[in-house]
Amino acid sequence: MFNEKIILASASPRRKELIASISDNVEIRPAECDETLPDNIGAQQAVEYLSKIKNEAARRISADDEAVISADTVVAVDDEILGKPIDKDDARRMLRLLSGKTHQVYTGVTISKGEKTLTFSEKTDVVFYELTNKEIEDYISTSEPYDKAGSYAIQGKAGLLVKGINGDYFNVVGLPVARLKRELEEFFR
* Active-site choice (24, 39, 65, 72): 72
Enter the DSSP assignment of 32.
-
Q: How far apart are the first and last CA of the chain?
A: 14
Q: Which long-range contacts (CB under 8 A, 24 or more apart) does 54-59 make?
A: 54/9, 54/10, 54/110, 55/9, 55/110, 55/111, 55/112, 55/117, 57/9, 57/31, 57/32, 57/33, 58/7, 58/9, 58/29, 58/30, 58/31, 59/112
- What is the Cα gyration radius of the chain? 17
Helix (H) / strand (E) element for 83: namely: none
Whether 72 is catalytic is yes
CB 62 within 8 A of CB 56: no
Which positions are catalytic? 72
